[in-house]
Amino acid sequence: MTDYAKKENAGRWLRHPVLGDPSFDAFEKISTLHRSRPPYEFGVNASLFKDPKSGCLYVYAGLYPAGYEIKADAPSHFVLYRSSDGGGKWECLGKAFEDGFVFDGYPEAADHCPDAVMCFDEDSGKYWLAYDWCLNTCVWNTIHQPADIAADSGAALAWSLSPQGPFQRLPSPAFSNFAQRGRLGRFTRGYASTLIKRREDWLLLLLCDSGDRFSWGLACMTAPSPEGPWSSPRVILSVDRDGYFPAPVEFYPCFEHGGEVWAPATSVAKNRNYQAVWAAEKEAAHLPEAWSMRFDGNYWHSRNLPEERCGLWGQTPSGFVHDGQFTVVYPSLDEKRRGTLSIASRAWDEPLRDGFALTGHGGPSVVPLLCAYRDFTLDCALEISGTVELILKYGGILGPDSNRSDAMPNDLAFAGCTALILEENGRFRLVERDSKGTETTIANGDAGEPIAALRAVLRGSILTFDMNGKRAGGAELADTRALPLAVATHAFSGFRCSSFQAAGEKAEYALRYNAFDALLGAGQRLADWEKDASLDFAGGEGFIGGYGLFGKWNVIGSRFDLHAPRAPDLGTMQILVDGEAVGKVDLCTAKALPSAVVFSAEFASFGRHAVVVKSLGGHITLDMLTVYAS
């Protein structure tokens, strides 16, 4: 018997920026300090700072109009909050910058300054603030491609002798998107910065955005002092890394602890519940190879609270460590889609606890175990909000419904499965879904009370299940394959699970991933790929791409099969694993052939890996990847 709700088994669940994150994190909420009001409905970015002199906490809260709209009569900006009791009570100190500041050589004021992060320099006694900015003449449809300096934006610095100001803005920006255009590869905008002091220089970390590629990264610049001169920016974290890199996630803000720089990143998918965290030794943090992933999920969970209805929104939790306690600020949207900012904490050295939480916010979540069973006995203890699914046989095709922000699990992610659909009022249905997702209800009922305990027993094709200690139903199942167990939540639903005990003989699992997962994983522009209705793809929608394009799956397993259709007008595909070429496939055939396994390989070891496919000449197809492990 294995209890998959124990923290030592947290790594046996799949985690994915679009599919979801069953998180075992130990954060506890302390307070909500900001609730947004018009005309600044999106108070969804913030940083947290502990003043080493006074011990007070400060939050630099970025306020935007709804939808991040750029409005001349309501410029985005940040305000200060202060707490003298460790984050329980907060006082708003108001807007930090005065309007009308003009950078040297610029034709217009830069009053839009929403995101700010504080850094204290013990040697000089100065407090340095890194903030992003855009000119009052900026508009969204040109911000990624500024034609001239009047459309500029970027990152800048200000200083003060107090964490609450007044602040002196440096006369020139540290980073200008107009001046640096074309120097960030796929990325067309840098903003949302964090300043770090090192032994011999200063490090400025920048969030980077790629526009319609829906990919984000982290870049860095260095300078001998905050006044500059600053080096050219260098991308240090992005989908272009050879290895495993979950996408889409965006970084902000970073923080330092224990001689390392930490870079948390949040999913921008619809369900808003996955986080990843990278870190690097501070003195080497300007080098891409210095960074490693420390959290692949398991960093944060949202709560069933009105002020957190939409999950994390705007950034990931970030803060400081003091006396072994990690305290963070985090954003969300409430039931009116207005921003909120709250405080939470956990012990730094004890990031996980027993029991996990899985939520769905604007979209559903679905996460399988990295283990399969044919016959099993499953005992669960759970607390349900909304509608969730306990999937007893999971055979769906994982991946997003598109390559964009606000992506959701594709419809086939819920296909090919047998599931108990559980509602918070005690009603339930047992359903079977075929490979196309067509659903058949084979049993239903009402437990008469919230379902807090569930037992499911499968022997051969015969399933029985009990709820709250009473027999609730049973059925004969059509599918007797050894398949993973899985859990899912519908939109604006979730559950906490304190026990997930499975007994039975474990078998090799197989998980399938669609083409959209490879497009998002590679930060591809959808318009660069073609569709061909005459080709038979295995994973749902498939794509055709030419030279210079590539797909990237980030997966966990021991081996994989690559599926693709072939046709007379296709070329040669190269396959790489973690940056190393492992084979190539000629996709050109005398006649069109339906999708089949065209390449198989074993990873060097079980774990996290990146599988990349790209053209060596001619067009290639992007279809489906099946990953296996026992």
Q: Report the chain's C-alpha Rg in angstroms.
A: 25
Average pLDDT over residues 182-192: 94
CATH 2.60.120.560 in the chain, residue ranges: 2-6+361-507
pLDDT for the residue 355? 98
Token pair listed for 373: 């069973």
pLDDT for the residue 201? 98
Average pLDDT over residues 76-97: 96
Distance CA 556, CA 558 (A): 7
Average pLDDT over residues 168-195: 95
Average pLDDT over residues 246-264: 96
Instruction: Encode burial over 253-281: b for 16+ CB neighbours within 10 A, e otherwise.
Output: bbbbeeebbbbbbbbbbbbbbbbbbbbbe
Distance CA 10, CA 355 (A): 9
Encode pLDDT of 17-40 as tens digits: 999 999 999 999 999 999 999 999
CA distances from 274 to 16, 17, 248, 356 (A): 7, 5, 10, 13
CA distances from 543 to 526, 546, 624 (A): 9, 10, 10
Quickly count: other Cβ atoms within 10 Å of residue 123's Cβ.
6
CATH 2.60.120.260 in the chain, residue ranges: 511-629
Encode pLDDT of 99-157 as tens digits: 999 999 999 999 999 999 999 999 999 999 999 999 999 999 889 989 899 999 999 99
Q: How confident is the model at residue 304 (pLDDT cuts 50, 70, 90)?
A: confident
Identify the H or E element spanning 328: strand 325-333
pLDDT for the residue 338? 97
For 460-592, where are the E strands, in sequence order? 462-467, 470-476, 483-489, 493-503, 506-507, 509-513, 543-545, 550-566, 572-577, 580-586
CATH 2.115.10.20 in the chain, residue ranges: 23-350
Average pLDDT over residues 473-498: 95
Please enumerate in sequence order all residues whose Cβ is within 8 A of that of 346, keeping only pairs 6 or more positions apart, or say none: 25, 26, 27, 28, 325, 326
Average pLDDT over residues 457-476: 96
Average pLDDT over residues 499-503: 98
Provide the percentage of residues in the chain whose pLDDT is more than 90: 96
63 vs 630, residue with greater confidence: 63
What secondary structure letter does DSSP report for 55? -
Check whether 314 has a pLDDT greater than 90.
Answer: no
Three-state DSSP state, 476: strand
Q: Which residues sit opposite 487 in a β-bridge?
A: 367, 390
Encode pLDDT of 365-419 as tens digits: 999 999 999 999 999 999 999 999 999 999 999 999 999 999 999 999 999 999 9
pLDDT for the residue 256? 97
Is the distance from CB of 285 to CB of 220 less than 8 angstroms? yes
Distance CA 21, CA 269 (A): 12
What secondary structure letter does DSSP report for 232? P
Check whether 246 has a pLDDT greater than 90.
Answer: yes
Distance CA 523, CA 239 (A): 6
What class does CATH assign to 2-6+361-507? Answer: mainly beta
Provide the percentage of residues in the chain whose pLDDT is more than 70: 100
- We find that the CATH architecture of domain 23-350 is 5 Propeller (2.115)
Is the distance from CB of 58 to CB of 67 less than 8 angstroms? no
Is the distance from CB of 551 to CB of 621 less than 8 angstroms? no
Q: How confident is the model at residue 630 (pLDDT cuts 50, 70, 90)?
A: confident
Token pair listed for 22: 């069953």
Distance CA 520, CA 298 (A): 21
What class does CATH assign to 511-629? Answer: mainly beta
Encode pLDDT of 517-547 as tens digits: 999 999 999 999 999 889 999 999 999 999 9
Q: Please name the residue that has the structure tokens 């979801």.
A: 20
